Each structure stands twice: as C-alpha cells, then as structure tokens.
Amino acid sequence: MKLSVIEINHEPELVVQTATGWLKLTSYFDQVEEVPNFTMENLFDSKVYKGLQFLLESDLSQIDSRYWLDTIDDCAFYPVVSQPGKILAVGLNYKNHIAEVKMDKPQVPEIFNKLTTSLNSHNSPIFLPNNDWEYDYEGELVIVIGKEAKNLASDEVDRAIFGYTVGNDVTARQLQFQTSQWLIGKSLDGFAPVGPSLLTKDQMDLGQARLTTKVNGQIVQEAPLTDMLYSPQEIVRYLSQYMTLKPGDLIFTGTPSGVIMGHNPNQLEWLTQGDTVTVSISGIGTLENTIRYEK
C-alpha cells in the first residue's frame, strides 16, 4: 500500500491510496473504530497492519464521503515517519558515484548518520545558512524499519523492513570534509527531506525501480536501484550486526553519480536560493523541495 501523512486542520492525517481515492485513516479510525491518534507508527504492529489490509479489501463504498480525498497533490505534508529514533545513511554505494568523487570502493557499507533534527518533508523549504558552504543534493532510496531487529540472518531481513520512501541527503560539502567525520555537513536542520509517500515492501519492485533527480527541471541523476553496491537487504543485515534497529528508523541507501561535487571543478554550481530539487523513484513518487536562505 502507498501511505502519506498530510496536514488537515493543522494536524497530521495518515492517508492511504486506494483505487477510488485517498482514505483518511486518522479520521476514520478516530470516529468509526474509536482508535484516537492513528499514525504511521501504529502500522508497525503487524496485527494493526493486517486489520488495515482487511479493511482495504472490503467494500470501501460503504465508507462515508467525509473520509475521502480525490487527491493530495495540493496538501501540506509531514515526514512519513514523525520521530525516527535514528537516521542512518550509506555513503559510496553506487559504483559510478564512487568513480566521480574519486574515492576508494568500500569493502563494507560506509555508514554515517544524520541527526533527527535534519528531518524534513515533501514541499517544505530547505533553509540554507547564509554561508558559502557548497550545498549539494543526493537523491536516495530510504528504507523504513518496521520491526526491532538485531543480528539478523539473511532470511530474516525482509521481516524487519516496513517499506521505502524517497529522500534527499542534502549536504554542505565544505563542512562535510572539514574533518574526517561527515556528521556536521550532513546534519544541518532540514537536510533530510523524505516523502511524499511510503510504499510498503510488498509493493516495491527494487529490481525495476529507477531513481531520477532534477534541479530546476533538468535531470542531474538517473540510475536503476540495481546499481547499488550493497542492496537494501544487505545494508539492513549489516547494520543489525552492530546495533538494534527500531521501528521507524530511516536508512538512506546512497546516491548515484551526478552530484555537484563530481562535476568539472571549473563548472561547480552549488545549490542556491530559488533552486527546486526533485527526487523521483518509480512506484513511490516525487519528493520536491525548494532552496531558501535563512533570514
């Protein structure tokens, strides 16, 4: 299923796409099922998820029209997960990206993290500090963990994954390479937009999906997800050997070639005020954010 979190009456509303429109789950469960504050996080419970599947397979025409939206295109969005415990990320996970930035191929997944205060949403501005810190985009597939996981065997990995969303690992390159640790350059406020939707793992075709990033309508990144050096399943299994993954954790899986840092040094045009960056992954949707300078 495809799920989004939108704003209705200044409150988050979890919605699910059906053949006839978007069903407002938060409102429906509050007023019909008497389950208040129904959120994406509720669905990490397998019993609740199966209950929603049963509902969606029933006669939806019996649900009152007040619980339906024809489209969510003009809505304000929240991040698909409101409070991830961790935002982890993988660097250098596409061979062509490794080549363009002239770094060595990692022998294991190159793991770093972004602070949770960097979380941002679809259609929200990305505010840049008014400094010349060389701002760059990185379109990425993002894993959403659905079950607590530690020391996973290969055949257990899929059970830990709830679904996938689209992300942009926005980066201040000057800060990233100021020291050997990337944290500061990756974790400025709002530098981890995700959305607009989450696609559950059962509907995600990783073998066919493609990622496309555009800046002001021009394609700057394009690659199949199969170009990853380490697959989402390999990444999750690797991480689980060293830390407990929790429901709602987000894992950015790396970016393909085409980042600004990889361009000709004489043609570097970093992100600036007014630029619009879109990241699309087939099946999930298009994440869009516009660059603004902090006042």
CA atoms within 13 A of residue 74's CA, in its CB half-sphere: 3
d(CA 116, CA 191): 10
CATH for the stretch 87-293: 3.90.850.10
* pTM summary value: 0.97
Pairing of strands 192-194, 119-121: parallel
DSSP designation for 136: E
pLDDT of residue 287: 99
Q: What is the dihedral of CA 212, 215, 218, 223, to 10 degrees?
A: -20
Span 205-216, pLDDT tens digits: 999 999 999 999
d(CA 149, CA 159): 9
Structure tokens at 93: 């996970």
**Cβ atoms within 10 A of the Cβ of 113, count?**
16
Task: Delimit the domains of the chain by residue range.
Answer: 2-69, 87-293
d(CA 56, CA 67): 13
d(CA 59, CA 67): 14
CA distances from 273 to 20, 175, 216, 264 (A): 39, 19, 12, 22
pLDDT over 90 (residue 4)? yes
Span 221-267, pLDDT tens digits: 999 999 999 999 999 999 999 999 999 999 999 999 999 999 998 88
CA distances from 104 to 50, 91, 127, 214, 222 (A): 44, 11, 32, 27, 22
| Residue 81 zone, left/alpha/beta (φ > 0; ψ -120 to 50; rest) | beta
